A = this chain, B = another copy of it.
Amino acid sequence: MVERIVVIGADAAGMSAASQALRTAAGRGRELEIVAVDRGRWTSYSACGIPYWVAGDVDGPDALIARTAEEHRANGIDVRLGTVAESVDLAAGTVEVAGIDDDRRERLGFDQLVLAIGAVPVRPDLPGIEARGIFGVQTLDDGAAVIDYLGIRKPRTAVVVGAGYIGLEMAEALVRRGMHVTVVEQEPEPMTTLDPDLGKSVRMAMIGMGIDVRTETGVEAFEAGGDGHVRRLVTESGEVDADVVVLGIGVRPASELASAAGLPLGAGGGIRVDDRLRVRGTENVWAAGDCVETFDRVRGAYVHVPLGTHANKQGRVLGTNLGGGDATFPGIVGTAVSKICDLEIARTGLREVDADAAGLEYVAVTIESTTRSGYYPGAEPLTVKVLAERPGGRLLGAQIVGKEDAAKRIDVLAMALWNEMTVMDVAMTDLSYAPPFSPVWDPVQIAARKAADKLT
């Protein structure tokens, strides 16, 4: 019997799942029939690349597409773009789909259902939010819409609301397109995924590239001109001109479809799945990517962390299971990296505020070092901060900011977190050293060592 699978969402999680399901099933002599629907125009793309497309560094959208719909079709997946899944009937095993630009309407039957329905940018419920020219940036279609708008309207001023990863990457892209850019952020420092002491470096980098940084500033309203296009923001600290606005205040799981079908959602709105990525309480419904909640190994709790790297891994795990194999997604530790101008920024695990909230006793150590041996040409400064539990020394979290070759070192600390290592252990592990790559004590080990010293 051929098993019929419907995949809703044709980006990283959904199409990784579909491809891996076919591969796994083929290895077991099983046959699958897979239909994948998506409201957008593209499949399997890098949404993370949108800011570089906007900046003009990347020829989008083609360069951002890892695998086209045609390639997926050639691989045997019935991909239907411009197609919205309107509702799911779990009892009947059907999905109602409709064409987004036409009258197509169909009821697709499934034996197994995959929800890879992603996340949507949070749009604050403020006066004027419906003005034209206020964009969230989550899908490639969102990116195309921004680029069209910039091309047609040629804005001179831009405001980014929210100074997180996407907000700052978009702010830099807009500066590079010649706009005067203001970033408005409610918190005292940008990049609140870092502790504020490191966030300060991010602020300096933003100012250095000419961005008008307004922190501790709430947005009160958006104002449109007579043509319905946004013209300015009203904030707690005055008005700011804005020919275009980018919203960077986060995304929420696009889980309405799942919710309406009666599937379980976690506190953050993500679909609740087990570690094989089956939706809890179901036999034949699976979910992965930005729409699910994920186990945080450090917090010991489920969280919503919508990142492409997790979506790809989860898609692969899901697909393996769907195809008759057995794989588990072991969770995350909260690793992330970004680059603002020439400042690299990375983090993993808990911030001080997280450790405080968890009631943990800890030491926090911040050190300054260099990316290469101090005497080696091109050595750049970097700052590493680590948190270690008191008294045992278990690593709790780490943050890095610095110039070229600083940030990727976070992976060492992510591996340490993953393996529940102490800072004493981290300080003594066998990391690579040569003058072009590191001081003789790698900066992450200097930080671990100082934390260990502080514990004794």
Residues of A within 8 A of B (CB): 12, 46, 48-49, 52, 57-58, 63-64, 165, 307-310, 312-313, 316-317, 325, 329-339, 344, 346, 348, 373, 375-377, 405, 407-412, 414-416, 418-419, 421, 425, 427-438, 440-442, 449, 456
Contacts and interface: CB of A to CB of B under 8 A. Distances in A.
16 contacts: A12-B440, A46-B375, A52-B435, A57-B377, A308-B433, A308-B440, A309-B440, A313-B428, A344-B437, A408-B432, A408-B437, A408-B438, A411-B442, A414-B431, A415-B416, A415-B429
Contacts of A425: 330
A437 B52 contact: no
A336 B432 contact: yes
Contacts of A412: 411-412, 415
Contacts of A427: 313
Contacts of A408: 405, 408-409, 432, 437-438
Contact of A58 (B58, B376, B411, B414): B376
Contacts of A437: 337, 339, 344, 407-408
B434 A330 contact: no
A338 B434 contact: yes
Nearest to A346: B432
Number of copies: 2
Contacts of A344: 437
A418 to B, nearest CB: 5
A106 B360 CA distance: 56
A344 B434 CA distance: 11
Residue in A12, A52, A348 with the greatest tally of chain B CB atoms within 10 Å: A52
A307 B411 contact: no
Nearest to A336: B432
B337 A432 contact: yes
A428 B335 contact: no
Contacts of A434: 48, 165, 336-339
B49 A435 contact: yes
A415 B419 contact: yes
A335 B430 contact: yes
A50 to B, nearest CB: 10
B430 A333 contact: yes
Contacts of A428: 313, 317, 329-330
Contacts of A438: 408
Contacts of A348: 430, 432
A309 B405 CA distance: 19
Contacts of A64: 375
Contacts of A308: 433, 440
A431 B46 contact: no
A409 B412 CA distance: 9
Nearest to A426: B415
A394 to B, nearest CB: 14
Nearest to A169: B434
Contacts of A442: 411
B409 A430 contact: no
Given A58-B376, A330-B425, 20 more contacts: A46-B435, A48-B433, A48-B434, A48-B435, A49-B435, A52-B377, A307-B433, A316-B449, A330-B428, A332-B430, A337-B432, A337-B437, A346-B432, A405-B405, A408-B432, A411-B432, A412-B415, A414-B432, A415-B416, A418-B429
Contacts of A57: 376-377
A172 to B, nearest CB: 11
Contacts of A333: 429-430
Given A440-B12, A440-B308, A432 B377 contact: no
